[in-house]
Amino acid sequence: MEFDLSRVAENIRMYRARKDISQRELARLTHSHPGSVFKWEDGSVVPGVNKLFAIAEALGVTPNDLVGWTAKN
């Protein structure tokens, strides 16, 4: 599996939109700065592992959903 930063950025944007919360609200839920959320969503910064788990929890998805990895049967 290959890590794709643009996919992570796209997935964070998509799941945040589905949850209908603002960047500011996601920042509050993940104990982050709103500017960090902007950078995650534009793909200029990749969230660290702990932050990725916090984002996933806030959005009601798994870290694998955010990274775009799926289990192969």
Pairwise CA distance, residues 4 & 67, whole Å: 7
Map out the domains of the chain as residue ranges: 5-67
Pairwise CA distance, residues 48 & 35, whole Å: 15
Q: pTM higher than 0.85 for the full model?
A: yes
Q: Contact, 9 vs 42, CB < 8 A?
A: yes
Radius of gyration of the chain (CA): 11
Q: Give the model confidence (pLDDT) of 26-42 as tens digits.
A: 999 999 999 999 999 99
Q: How far is CA 5 from the centre of its chain?
A: 10
Q: In the CATH hierarchy, which top-level class contains the domain 5-67?
A: mainly alpha
The count of C-alpha atoms lying within 13 angstroms of the C-alpha of 38, restricted to the half-sphere facing its C-beta, is 4
Q: Give the model confidence (pLDDT) of 37-60 as tens digits.
A: 999 999 999 999 999 999 999 999
